[in-house]
Amino acid sequence: MTKAKVGVVVFPGSNCDHDAYHVFKDIVGADTKFLWHKEGNIGDRNIVILPGGFSYGDYLRCGAISRFSSIMQDVIRFANNGGIVIGICNGFQILCESGLLPGALLRNENLKFICKTVSLKVENNKSIFTYKYGIKENIDIPIAHGEGNYFCSEETLAGLIGNNQILFTYNENPNGSVYNIAGIQNLNRNVMGMMPHPERASDPSVGGTDGVRLVQGIAESII
């Protein structure tokens, strides 16, 4: 039985919050609850999920307004103290806007919304997020975004590569992301952001299951 206590943050415009809740609670069996963005703290949660969607309608920039939601101050405190935080799609954008992860997510190179399953390569399987995968393993995970084009400076990219912070890359880049980046972690290895949706590839009743090992690994990392 996992000791994970998962909090799924809900912003106005989130639309993948129930997907994440279902996978952590019903597939993995973790104690899971929703956290409304106006709550001042995350309570007793030891894992925080920032789910996909279009928080605040993606006004200004994706994640730019959500970054200032009441709960984010506590999420930032939690992450800076070593707490596990995962941002998926819009959640990845929020993490970058919050400064918890480097870089930014720009409009897709073709300026179109892309919704399809893509092939990812596992670039690092020595993290709490990826240890259930094989190194260089190819996995199929859905994407659904219009602003998934990861960008960072050359200096930041060199750091990501040198510090083994790149977790997933696209085998065929769908959006123009630098270095084919699909997911990264912070230097302290406790914050992860990725544009693809592992929660949409974790239940055999709705499709593939290549994402479930990521979810299981995160939950089982709490001891």
Are residues 215 and 199 in contact, defined by beta-carbon separation less than 8 angstroms?
yes
**In the predicted structure, residue 66 carries a pLDDT above the cut 80:** no
- Check if 199 is active-site: yes
Radius of gyration of the chain measured on its C-alpha atoms: 16
**In the predicted structure, residue 176 carries a pLDDT above the cut 80:** yes
Q: How far, in whole angstroms, is CA 10 from its chain's centroid?
A: 14
- Check if 22 is active-site: no
Question: What kind of fold does domain 5-220 have according to CATH?
Answer: Rossmann fold (3.40.50)
Q: What does the pLDDT read at residue 86?
A: 98
Q: Which two tokens stand for residue 201?
A: 């590839």
Q: Is 119 helix (H, G, I), strand (E, B) or coil?
A: strand
Task: State the catalytic residue, choosing from 89, 96, 97, 152.
Answer: 89
| DSSP letter assigned to residue 129 | T
Q: Which residues contact 1 (CB under 8 A, 6 or more apart)?
A: 29
Q: What amino acid occupies position 108?
A: N
Tell me the pLDDT tens digit for each residue of 134-168: 999 999 999 999 999 999 999 999 999 999 999 99
- Check if 115 is active-site: no
Task: Enumerate the domain spans of the chain.
Answer: 5-220
What spatial distance separates the first Cα and last Cα of the chain, rounded to whole Å? 10
The total of other beta-carbon atoms located within 10 Å of residue 40's CB is 9
Cα–Cα distance for residue pair 125/107, rounded to 1 Å: 29
